[in-house]
Amino acid sequence: MLAEDLTSEVYRLVAEHGTDGVLQSTLWKELALSSRDGSRLAIRLEKHGMIQRQKVLDGARWTYKLTQLRIPVNIKSIQQLPCTTCPYELRCSLTGLVSPLCCPWIADWVTKEFRECVKVTISS
């Protein structure tokens, strides 16, 4: 597997563990990597500002807990954005007569997205 693919795989696994994070030793076992190779991948992601490595004591050994810093954009949330089909898009600006600050379509969209988000949170 290429280094880029492995880096993406490490990031995906860290993201799957959410805000709780995951011990890097757990990831290396899942990916069948040496601790040296795994550490290099984690350091690469940390340098790019994608994860945080926090030194923790696990049992009698020191390891790092990896947590995601950048939350990937979910395209689903913006697919229904009214701006993409708005006939006034070219005239829309913060100081113009047509403005996102007073747009009824954006207000409806935001309200709908918020309700969907609340439903998901409550059902989880």
Angle between helical axes of 24-31 and 3-16 (0-180°, round to 10)? 130
Q: Which domains does the chain have, with CATH numbers?
A: 3-68 (1.10.10.10), 75-123 (no CATH)
- Tokens linked to 98: 């047509």
**pLDDT tens-digit map of 76-114:** 777 888 998 899 989 999 998 889 899 999 999 888 888
- Is the pLDDT score of 73 beyond 80? no
Q: What is the pLDDT of residues 11-46, one digit of tens each?
A: 889 988 888 899 998 988 998 999 898 899 999 999
Question: Is the CA virtual torsion 50, 54, 55, 61 positive or negative?
Answer: negative
* CA dihedral angle for residue 53, residue 59, residue 62, residue 66, rounded to 10 degrees: -10
d(CA 96, CA 89): 11
Q: Which long-range contacts (CB under 8 A, 24 or more apart) does 88-96 make?
A: none
Q: Is the pLDDT of residue 53 over 90?
A: yes
Are 38 and 27 a contacting pair, CB within 8 Å?
A: yes
Taking the model in full, what pTM does it have? 0.56
Which residues partner with 65 through β-bridges? 23, 54
